[in-house]
């Protein structure tokens, strides 16, 4: 009888033990299931940002990157992307000029699983990344600033877009401004041209020189310069010997272009400069100030509704909206996430298929600071037309039609004269 009672008690405790183990296992299993479910429902999406954080435009890229990250943060904070997913941006340095280094960076980001790339910046490295890395891996790139005409015919399989217009138009605009501008109350009759020796420089110089000639303006010389030199007095001496009322500098604000201007001012060879988009930045003013009064140029940009809204949004985030390609960077990032939402997926192929649809409408116009509105509409199956900061409209090959800002230097500062 006692043995039976002991057996009964032991059986009871054994049953409780087994039941406890089973409950513990069930609890662990349930916890793991919920953790996986939560991870899937609110997963991070990695996004590449490739810009020249070192090199000839290093003073411009921090604001460009911050503008793209502003769009990504706006989307993440909204909780409206694909049911609550968030964006994790990963920066990579294109160097602007070293194609091999830029490709290595792109390969690393793609290896980390980025869904798309906001970038790159300079035309040569952008073309190299697209051709050799992004396109073979099926990854969308949207560049905010690569403007070489050569990128228009890139065999990109529908994966490369740009929110800045091509220099095929930019060179014509710069020539129009040159024709319309008077220096010391005189029209410009002759121009010497120097360009950075790469895809961007040569492409823009060719278009610009041809457009000047069509306007009846004499082009005395078109000569390349190399970036990274300590002294440009020899190049300037050659340009001065050819003559010219003004010197057009197609180059980079933190490299050779700046050196050309320094040598010109030091020697007295030229005192008025026509500046390409890559030359327009506060670091140029910091270096030369009022010595550049009367100089002028152009860069992609807008004075429209979206530009004004972006200025407010950017300033609230501590970003200077007047910097070159800041609006284009915000727009590039915004288009990527809106394309994700339109396709209902962060899949690379889905992004590529939906960029044009959200960029060109038809549908509700979406401006900076309104990305949640755009995401919500897309989630309901409704169309949008992303206007953004720069009035985005793509050509059939995925590059911005765009507009340009005419810039002049007065009182040692860049001033926007008008939109063209």
CA–CA separation, 261 vs 248, rounded Å? 10
Residues paired with residue 404 on neighbouring β-strands, in sequence order = 300
366 — phi, psi (to 5°)? -120, 130
Are 159 and 397 a contacting pair, CB within 8 Å?
no
Sheet holding 44-51, edge to edge: 86-93, 44-51, 116-119, 140-143, 160-162
What is the pLDDT, as a whole number, of residue 43? Answer: 73
The model's pTM: 0.88
What is the pLDDT, as a whole number, of residue 37? Answer: 37
Average pLDDT over residues 385-411: 97
CA angle 295, 298, 303 (to 5 degrees): 120
CA–CA separation, 170 vs 85, rounded Å? 38
Beta strands 218-225 and 190-196: pairing type?
Answer: parallel
pLDDT over 60 (residue 11): no
CA distances from 77 to 72, 84, 88, 329, 337 (A): 9, 9, 12, 19, 13
pLDDT over 70 (residue 292): yes
Average pLDDT over residues 87-99: 98
What is the pLDDT, as a whole number, of residue 25? Answer: 47
What is the pLDDT, as a whole number, of residue 199? Answer: 95
For residue range 26-45, what is the model confidence (pLDDT) as tens digits? Answer: 443 443 433 333 333 457 99
Name the DSSP letter for residue 323.
S
Q: Where are the domains of the chain?
A: 1-32, 168-302+404-419
What is the pLDDT, as a whole number, of residue 238? Answer: 98
For residue range 108-165, what is the model confidence (pLDDT) as tens digits? Answer: 999 999 999 999 999 999 999 999 999 999 999 999 999 999 999 999 999 999 999 9
CA–CA separation, 369 vs 89, rounded Å? 18
Residue 195 neighbours by CB under 8 Å, 6+ apart:
201, 202, 204, 205, 222, 223, 224, 225, 250, 251
3-state SS assignment for residue 278? helix
pLDDT over 80 (residue 13): no
- The domain 168-302+404-419: what is its CATH number? 3.40.50.2300
Average pLDDT over residues 377-396: 98
CA–CA separation, 102 vs 100, rounded Å? 5
Name the DSSP letter for residue 289.
G
E strands, 272-411, are 273-275, 296-300, 364-366, 384-386, 404-410
CA–CA separation, 21 vs 13, rounded Å? 12
Sheet holding 296-300, edge to edge: 218-225, 190-196, 246-250, 273-275, 296-300, 404-410, 413-419
pLDDT over 80 (residue 297): yes
Name the DSSP letter for residue 400.
B
Q: What is the helix (H) or strand (E) element at residue 5, kind and residue range?
A: helix 2-41
What is the pLDDT, as a whole number, of residue 116? Answer: 98
Are 371 and 75 a contacting pair, CB within 8 Å?
yes
CA angle 141, 146, 340 (to 5 degrees): 25
Mean pLDDT computed over every residue of the chain: 92
Beta strands 140-143 and 160-162: pairing type?
Answer: parallel
CA distances from 357 to 72, 151, 386 (A): 20, 21, 9
For residue range 186-240, what is the model confidence (pLDDT) as tens digits? Answer: 999 999 999 999 999 999 999 999 999 999 999 999 999 999 999 999 999 999 9
pLDDT over 80 (residue 312): yes
Give me the percent of the chain exceeding a pLDDT of 70: 90
pLDDT over 90 (residue 22): no
pLDDT band at 16 (very low <50, low <70, confident <90, very high): very low
CA–CA separation, 228 vs 87, rounded Å? 36
CA–CA separation, 207 vs 259, rounded Å? 23
CA–CA separation, 282 vs 144, rounded Å? 19
For residue range 34-80, what is the model confidence (pLDDT) as tens digits? Answer: 333 333 345 799 999 999 999 999 999 999 999 999 999 999 999 99
pLDDT over 80 (residue 8): no
157 — phi, psi (to 5°)? 55, 30
For residue range 240-282, what is the model confidence (pLDDT) as tens digits? Answer: 999 999 999 999 999 999 999 999 999 999 999 999 999 999 9
3-state SS assignment for residue 327? helix
What is the pLDDT, as a whole number, of residue 110? Answer: 98
CA atoms within 13 A on the CB side of 151: 36
For residue range 346-380, what is the model confidence (pLDDT) as tens digits? Answer: 999 999 999 999 999 899 999 999 999 999 999 99
């Amino acid at each position: 009888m006692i043995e039976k009672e002991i057996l009964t008690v032991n059986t009871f405790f054994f049953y409780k033990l087994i039941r406890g183990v089973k409950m513990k296992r069930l609890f662990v299993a349930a916890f793991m299931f919920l953790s996986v479910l939560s991870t899937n429902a609110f997963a991070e999406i990695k996004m590449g940002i490739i810009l020249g954080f070192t090199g000839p435009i290093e003073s411009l890229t921090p604001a460009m990157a911050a503008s793209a990250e502003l769009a990504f943060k706006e989307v993440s904070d909204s909780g409206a992307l694909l049911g609550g997913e968030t964006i994790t941006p990963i920066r990579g340095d294109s160097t602007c000029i070293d194609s091999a280094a830029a490709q290595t960076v792109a390969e690393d980001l793609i290896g980390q699983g980025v869904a798309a790339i906001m970038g790159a910046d300079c035309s040569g490295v952008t073309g190299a990344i697209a051709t050799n890395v992004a396109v073979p891996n099926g990854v969308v790139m949207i560049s905010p600033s690569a403007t070489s005409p050569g990128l228009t015919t890139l065999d990109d399989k529908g994966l490369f877009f740009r929110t800045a217009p091509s220099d095929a138009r930019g060179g014509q605009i710069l020539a129009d401004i040159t024709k319309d501008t008077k220096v010391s109350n005189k029209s410009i009759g002759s121009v010497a041209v120097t360009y950075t020796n790469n895809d961007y420089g040569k492409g823009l110089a060719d278009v610009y020189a041809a457009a000047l000639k069509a306007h009846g303006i004499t082009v005395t010389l078109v000569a390349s310069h190399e970036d990274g030199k300590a002294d440009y007095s020899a190049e300037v001496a050659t340009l001065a010997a050819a003559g010219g009322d003004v010197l057009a500098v197609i180059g980079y604000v933190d490299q050779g272009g700046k050196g050309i201007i320094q040598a010109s001012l030091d020697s007295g060879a030229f005192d008025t400069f026509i500046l390409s988009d890559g030359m327009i930045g506060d670091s140029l003013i910091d270096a030369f100030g009022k010595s550049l009064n009367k100089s002028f140029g152009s860069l992609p940009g807008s004075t429209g509704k979206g530009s004004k809204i972006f200025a407010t949004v950017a300033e609230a985030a501590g970003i200077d909206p007047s910097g070159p390609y800041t609006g284009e960077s915000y727009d590039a990032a915004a288009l990527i996430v809106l394309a994700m939402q339109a396709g209902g997926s962060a899949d690379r192929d889905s992004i590529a298929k939906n960029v044009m649809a959200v960029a060109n409408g038809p549908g509700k116009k979406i401006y900076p600071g309104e990305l949640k509105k755009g995401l919500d509409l897309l989630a309901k199956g409704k169309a949008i037309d992303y206007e953004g900061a720069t009035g985005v409209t793509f050509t059939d090959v995925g590059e911005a039609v765009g507009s340009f800002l005419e810039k002049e230097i007065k009182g040692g500062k860049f001033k926007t004269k008008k939109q063209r």
